[in-house]
């Protein structure tokens, strides 16, 4: 992964965290944070966001996909 890609992902984390401040129970934002942290190679942090998301919405597709990816990490 290039430095530019890492910077874009870090910017995404910042933007998603700001969005989460406004909507702390938004499952889509939580799942997106999980996926960004997977791309940044932070599986434990990703897992935390996926777990929060799955508690709020057990059938959330993107969250389930993220948890499935974590099984193989």
- Report pLDDT digits (tens) over 4-17: 999 999 999 999 99
Q: What is the pTM of this model?
A: 0.92
User: CB–CB of 41/15 below 8 Å?
Assistant: no
| Burial tier of 22 (Cβ tally within 10 Å: 0-12, 13-18, 19+) | exposed
Angle, helices 27-39 vs 3-22, to 10°: value is 160
Query: How far is Cα of residue 54 from the mean position of the Cα atoms in its chain?
Result: 12
Would you identify the CATH topology of the domain 3-71?
A: 1.25.40
The whole-number average pLDDT for the span 38-67 is 96
CA angle 5, 22, 60 (to 5 degrees): 70
């Amino acid at each position: 992964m290039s430095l530019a890609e890492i910077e874009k992902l870090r910017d995404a984390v910042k933007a998603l965290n700001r969005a989460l401040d406004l909507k702390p129970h938004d499952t889509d934002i939580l799942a997106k944070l999980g996926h960004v942290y997977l791309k940044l190679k932070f599986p434990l942090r990703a897992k935390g966001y996926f777990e929060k998301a799955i508690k709020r919405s057990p059938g959330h597709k993107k969250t389930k996909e993220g948890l499935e990816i974590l099984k193989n990490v």
